[in-house]
């Protein structure tokens, strides 16, 4: 017994180091790369760098890149391919983030945000997939969801970086804090994941036979449609909440920046919370509850409005959207247990496609004279659509989503 204990401790350290590395990389690409744009947008508009409509278009370019990145991850999903694609995507993230610090022309900024989104899409699929397969080889797959804690912590970090530098940075220089923080985190996280060793026979799918399997089946179609609704429903508040606060609340109101802080704080425990509710209620009932809570948050912004509506939306959407991801991925695995990362990438791609529609529809609504508050109704309708199809989704009675 005295000889086995050090080995167990060393193994645990290795496992949690890998999870931390994955969380760090998701923090970098998904929050410092993607969602930091949300609290930055009101300041870019105030600086005269962008208009509200241009901000929506640039957000769409980023979401288009995210979709393209997820599609690339569907195509290249084996371990050897991920070992090449993952560091390349992280390099693109670093270069595009540095490039943003020098750009004032909206069209060029939009293209750069698209490249940043491609990197985000690839890493968001491939880093968790690589870690999951590595954990499966060690019988510790149940820990894989912890990698998403990086997103919640990253939202808090992004809020802090924007708030701390808002008074002494201006225009494109506002990107510098994200760029500076990203560099050492990318270097460390990439090194750790490239150290992971797999058996020679390990694959992220079952080979050519898996690639021939159909992802979209009669059983999985309602889940895919529900997830599409989630993608469109959550992206509006996650893109425009601070801007909505700046447009509808008195000048200098704390929720202009504080709404994103509420989102960040509520996101941190959300992965654990929805994992717990999934284990107690079942993943599918927990997903339906998740949709209902998220829908309530968006409806609060539309119908309650003001500080109370924005605060409720920040809390309820921030506390649910990661749960939607975790629960949907597990339910999808229960429906198609041998699809692995291909299914994950396909779901992320669909999520990304739905997200593109959010800022695009918002731009069209604003161009036609509508208000941003009214545009949030689009998100509410999408979440109601997702909730409906979550009730049309079923999982095999004899199959656990956690296997």
* Boundary-marking domain end, from 160, 177, 204: 204
Judge if 278 and 192 occupy the same domain. Answer: no
* Residue in 23, 20, 28, 24 with CA at minimum distance from that of residue 178: 28
Give the residue numbers spanning the domain of 133. 9-204
23 falls within a domain: yes
Q: If you search the block for the tokens 């989104």, which residue do you land on?
A: 117
Check if the beta carbon of residue 222 is closer than 8 Å to that of residue 392: yes
**What is d(CA 37, CA 196) in angstroms, rounded to the nearest whole number?**
32
| CA 159 centroid distance within chain | 16
Spatial CB neighbours of 324, under 8 Å, sequence gap ≥ 6: 227, 230, 234, 287, 290, 291, 294
3 falls within a domain: no
Spatial CB neighbours of 238, under 8 Å, sequence gap ≥ 6: 35, 38, 263, 317, 321
Say what the pLDDT of residue 397 is. 53
* Residue in 60, 131, 133, 122 with CA at minimum distance from that of residue 91: 122
Judge if 222 and 131 occupy the same domain. Answer: no
Helices (H), 138-175: 149-165
262 falls within a domain: yes
Judge if 316 and 361 occupy the same domain. Answer: yes
Angle of helix 341-367 relative to helix 106-137, nearest 10 degrees, comes to 160
Mean pLDDT by 10 residues, the chain (403 residues): 39 90 96 91 92 88 90 83 94 97 94 96 90 80 79 88 92 96 97 86 46 68 92 86 87 84 88 84 93 97 92 95 86 73 79 80 84 89 96 68 45
Reported as a single tens digit per residue, the pLDDT across 47-59 is 999 998 899 889 8
Supply the CATH number for residue 172's domain. Answer: 1.20.1250.20
Say what the pLDDT of residue 102 is. 94
Judge if 308 and 176 occupy the same domain. Answer: no
209 falls within a domain: no
Judge if 169 and 298 occupy the same domain. Answer: no
83 falls within a domain: yes
Check if the beta carbon of residue 76 is closer than 8 Å to that of residue 88: no
């Amino acid at each position: 017994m005295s000889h086995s204990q050090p080995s167990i401790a060393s193994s645990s350290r290795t496992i949690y180091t890998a999870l931390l590395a994955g969380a760090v990389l998701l923090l970098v690409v998904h929050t410092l790369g993607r969602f930091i744009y949300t609290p930055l947008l009101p300041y870019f508009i105030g600086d005269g760098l962008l208009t509200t409509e241009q901000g929506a278009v640039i957000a769409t370019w980023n979401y288009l890149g995210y979709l393209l990145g997820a599609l690339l991850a569907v195509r290249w999903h084996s371990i050897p391919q991920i070992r090449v694609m993952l560091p390349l995507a992280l390099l693109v993230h670093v270069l595009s983030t540095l490039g943003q610090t020098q750009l004032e022309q909206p069209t060029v900024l939009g293209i750069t945000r698209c490249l940043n989104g491609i990197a985000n899409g690839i890493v968001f699929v491939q880093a968790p997939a690589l870690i999951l397969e590595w954990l499966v080889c060690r019988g510790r797959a149940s820990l894989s969801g912890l990698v998403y804690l990086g997103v919640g912590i990253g939202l808090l970090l992004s809020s802090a970086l924007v708030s701390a530098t808002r008074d002494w940075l201006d225009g494109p220089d506002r990107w510098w804090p994200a760029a500076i923080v990203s560099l050492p985190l990318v270097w460390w996280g990439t090194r750790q994941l490239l150290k992971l060793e797999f058996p020679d026979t390990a694959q992220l799918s079952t080979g050519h036979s898996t690639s021939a399997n159909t992802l979209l089946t009669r059983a999985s179609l309602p889940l895919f449609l529900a997830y599409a609704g989630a993608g469109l429903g959550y992206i509006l508040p996650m893109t425009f909440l601070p801007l909505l606060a700046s447009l509808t609340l008195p000048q200098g109101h704390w929720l202009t920046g504080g709404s994103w802080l509420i989102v960040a704080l509520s996101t941190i425990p959300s992965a654990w919370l929805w994992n717990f509710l999934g284990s107690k209620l079942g993943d599918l009932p927990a997903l339906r509850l998740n949709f209902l809570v998220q829908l309530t948050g968006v409806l609060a912004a539309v119908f309650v409005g003001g500080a109370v509506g924005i605060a409720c939306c920040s809390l309820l959407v921030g506390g649910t959207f990661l749960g939607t991801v975790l629960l949907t991925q597990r339910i999808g695995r229960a429906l198609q247990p041998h699809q692995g990362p291909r299914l994950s990438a396909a779901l992320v791609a669909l999520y990304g496609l739905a997200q593109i529609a959010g800022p695009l529809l918002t731009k069209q609504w604003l161009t036609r004279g509508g208000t941003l508050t009214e545009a949030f109704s689009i998100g509410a309708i999408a979440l109601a659509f997702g909730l409906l199809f979550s009730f049309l989704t079923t999982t095999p009675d004899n199959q656990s989503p956690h296997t």
